[in-house]
A and B are shown apart, each in its own frame.
Chain A
Amino acid sequence: DIQMTQSPSSLSASVGDGVTMTCRASQSISSFLNWYQQKPGKAPKLLISAASSLQSGVPSRFRGSGSGTEFTLTISSLHPEDFATYYCQQSYSIPAFGQGTKLEIK
């Protein structure tokens, strides 16, 4: 099975800051990598699919990149509503999620 590892597990930042979080796969998954945002008590929301394809309605400050085994999610200028937990997920084979990166307000 393919394992997904996210880092850091938590991240503190301020409104207006730019942040980057990383997701690594235990083997190559090409570009079969998706990013979700989850707020407390809510279902996950798909942000980015296929490593870099922004979903309709998702602000352009979100950017995904990478291929193979290493991927990043960058938020260029944090808005208050961006503080949440972010999960990566590989769709190359049987789906697997990373353990999440919790983005907190500093």
Chain B
Amino acid sequence: EVQLLESVGVWGGLVQPGESLRLSCAASGFTFSSYAMSWVRQIPGEGLEWVSAISASGGNTNYADSVKGRFTISRDNSKNTLYLQMSSLRVEDTAVYYCAKDHYGSGSYIFDCWGPGTLVTVSS
């Protein structure tokens, strides 16, 4: 069974504006190194926003304009883990963050499996 599970750093998901945070997504049940992956976020009660994607090898990345230059996506295929390093966090980055598996190996941007999500709150 394909499973994705997001987690946040040891300090939890509550940070102040300007601070940094790293999200992790542990994958199992499929050949992680063969699939592109993405992060998608959702402000509670609102719609979905794609944040970033990374190719299967990790050699290609893409970002939404709203996070470009502040967020960095990466992966460790030996650990079956996807990461999102978030810096210079803003109040408007407050959201539930989902990791999502690409339906095809290459970046099709069709998301066929999602983690349960992890809440990141940016507040002073």
Stretch from B14-22, B26-34, B76-84, B108-116 forming part of the interface with A: B108-116
Q: Chain B interface secondary structure, helix, strand, loop or mixed?
A: strand
A84 to chain B, nearest CB (A): 14
Place the interface of chain A in its size category.
20 to 34
Of A16-24, A59-67, A73-81, A87-95, the segment with at least 4 beta carbons within 8 Å of chain B is: A87-95
Asked if B60 CB lies within 8 Å of chain A CBs, one says: no
Q: Is the CB of A99 within 8 A of B47?
A: yes
Residue in B47, B103, B117 whose CB lies within 8 Å of A46: B103
Q: In the A-B complex, list the 4 residue pairs whose CB atoms are closest, starting with the nearest.
A: A43-B114, A91-B109, A95-B50, A97-B48
Q: B: which residues have CB within 8 A of A?
A: 38, 47-50, 53, 62, 64, 98, 103, 108-117
What 11 additional pairs, Cβ within 8 angstroms, besides A97-B50, A100-B47?
A36-B111, A42-B116, A43-B117, A46-B110, A50-B110, A87-B47, A87-B48, A91-B109, A94-B62, A95-B53, A96-B50
Q: Which of A's residues lie within 8 Å of B, judged by CB?
A: 34, 36, 42-46, 49-50, 55, 87, 89, 91, 94-100
